[in-house]
Amino acid sequence: MTQSIHSVAMMTNLFPPLATGSSIHSSTLANKLVERGVAVTVFTAHVSKDAPEHENMDGIDVYRLPCFKFPKLPIAVNFPWISMTMFPKNISFMRKKLRENNCQLIHVHNHMFDMALNGAYLANRLKLPLALTIHSIIRHPNPFYNGVLGAIDATFLRYCMVSKADAVVDLDNSCTRYLASRFGREDGTLIPLAIDLPQQPSAADVDALRDKYQLHGKKVILSVGHLHHLRNRLSLIRGFAKVLRTHPESRLIIIGARNYQPTLDLVAELGLEKEVIFTGKQPHHLIPAFLKLCDLHSMWFDLDPEGRNSLANANIEAMFMGKPVMGMLDINAYGKGVLKDWENIVIIPHKDPEQHIAKALVKLFDNPELAETIGKNSQDLAQKTFNWDLVTDRHLALYSSLAGKEAQ
């Protein structure tokens, strides 16, 4: 039995104006639901004091709740937006609004922040279905911190949050494995990431970037995403260094905050200060221009010890722009037969990655027709798999199923 959906509540500690992967995903999903005629109420933490406590964002009813904002903590890899919202006054307020707005279900984004606990508690009290999207896998480069966080994840978060959800959305196969191994659940629903189509850049922006970074006549590898321990690019840089022996005209451009010193040290150690270009943070409207001038894009989250990683937003944007994407990826990340090595993606094995990276780059540089074909196939894949119409349809189907079960 399914039920028509007219009102949904979302709970997340991260929401615009904060610019994180999960905040962009949840806010865009909310926008797409509003476009379908669904009323969306969002409860989030008021960590950005420039943002109002309450506003209507393109039809989304957004409430930013008083919170305690934690300082940057090593155990949280210095993430700047960790907050606590679970106060009696906030819970009473959310309970009141959930009733006033006739919300049919609660959708929590991110299982490790305290809005997840708020959602689990209120769903139970109000007898509402609870959906959960797992956006991140908890893992830390420090073995001690990793052990502590893993224990918290497998006990407190498992029994107080994840087990309470009536449905869990997996963004990819790594989340599916994580859900099974850490939380003992094998009933996740695979709904992949989606992004809005990148705007076509102006020729003036492309030319300006090519001039600024001296890229005329260069082979350009682009890697978009802030540097940190899970996106450190160490293997990519080492592999790229080997390519320079036969393709000295190559350049590697890394866009994002420079938050990981070992990467900067490696570039200096290899003497690649001219060949590896760190642009720092860039306005998002310039990303399509960078993608336009590059020959391929390469970035991955180093989340899985066996290299079974998934695509990130930046890779999907590159696909939409018709660029070949290279990464240490799980070929079954979005189901069997979706990703096809050397047809719509270039997959790097996790063993001895530097050698494989170098060989793949040389093959792509020396075979421009092959690179163009992979880029066109990746564009077709992105349009069929990572588009918001499809992702919104799947969320609405899930919501309808949950609401229908609750009504029985």
- Per residue in 273-330, pLDDT (tens digit) is 999 999 998 988 899 999 999 999 998 877 777 778 889 889 999 999 999 999 999 9
φ and ψ at residue 274, rounded to 5 degrees: -85, -35
Phi first, then psi, for residue 57 (nearest 5°) are -100, 95
Residue 120 is assigned to a structural domain of this protein: yes
Phi, psi (deg, nearest 5) at residue 406: -65, -30
Q: Are residues 42 and 187 in the same domain?
A: yes
Per-residue pLDDT at 228: 84
pLDDT in tens, 189-202: 999 999 887 889 99
pLDDT for residue 59 is more than 70 = yes
Do residues 188 and 54 share a domain? yes
Provide the pLDDT for residue 219.
Answer: 98
- Comparing 127-141, 352-366, 367-381, the range with the smallest average pLDDT is 127-141
Contact 252, 277 (CB under 8 A): yes
The mean pLDDT of 96-125, rounded to a whole number, is 98
398 compared with 259, residue with greater pLDDT: 398
Query: How do residues 222-267 score in pLDDT, each as one tens digit?
Result: 999 988 888 899 999 999 999 999 999 999 999 998 888 999 999 9
pLDDT at 406 (0 to 100): 65
pLDDT of residue 1: 60
Check whether residue 243 and residue 144 sit in a common domain: no
Pair 379, 399 in one domain: no
Q: Mean pLDDT over residues 124-149, rounded?
A: 93
Predicted local distance difference test score (pLDDT) of residue 371? 98
pTM: 0.85
pLDDT of residue 123: 98
Q: Which two tokens stand for residue 216?
A: 């005329």
**Separation of alpha carbons 255 and 279, rounded Å:** 5
77 shares its domain with 134: yes
pLDDT at 407: 57
pLDDT at 13: 98
The answer on 130 and 240 residing in a single domain is no
pLDDT over 80 at 2, yes or no: no
pLDDT of residue 100: 98
Q: Within this chain, do residues 209 and 181 fall inside the same structural domain, yes or no? A: no
Whether residue 209 sits in one domain with residue 185: no
What is the number of structural domains in the chain? 2
397: domain CATH number is 3.40.50.2000
Does a structural domain hold residue 24?
A: yes
Q: Which domain holds residue 251?
A: 203-385
Cis peptide before 71 (omega within 30 of 0): no
pLDDT surpasses 90 at 342: yes
- Residues 154, 280, single domain; the answer is no
Of 174 and 347, more confident? 347
Q: Are 19 and 50 part of one and the same domain? A: yes
Instruction: Count other Cβ atoms within 10 Å, centred on residue 322.
Output: 17
Residues 49, 18 contacting (CB under 8 angstroms): no
**pLDDT over 70 for what percent of the chain?**
99
Q: What is the mean pLDDT of residues 31-50?
A: 96
Q: Tell whether the model's pLDDT for residue 408 goes beyond 80.
A: no
Q: Are residues 129 and 216 part of one domain? A: no
Q: Is 1 among the domain residues?
A: no
Instruction: Give 260's contacts (C-beta < 8 A, 6+ positions apart).
Output: 227, 228, 229, 231, 232
Please tell me the predicted confidence (pLDDT) of residue 230. 81
Angstrom distance (rounded) from CA 379 to CA 376: 5
Instruction: Check pLDDT > 80 for residue 54.
Output: yes
DSSP structural state of residue 189: E
**Distance separating alpha carbons of residues 91 and 97, to the nearest angstrom:** 10
Q: Mean pLDDT score of the chain, rounded to an integer? A: 94
pLDDT category of residue 101 using cuts at 50, 70 and 90: very high
- Same domain assignment for residues 215 and 303: yes
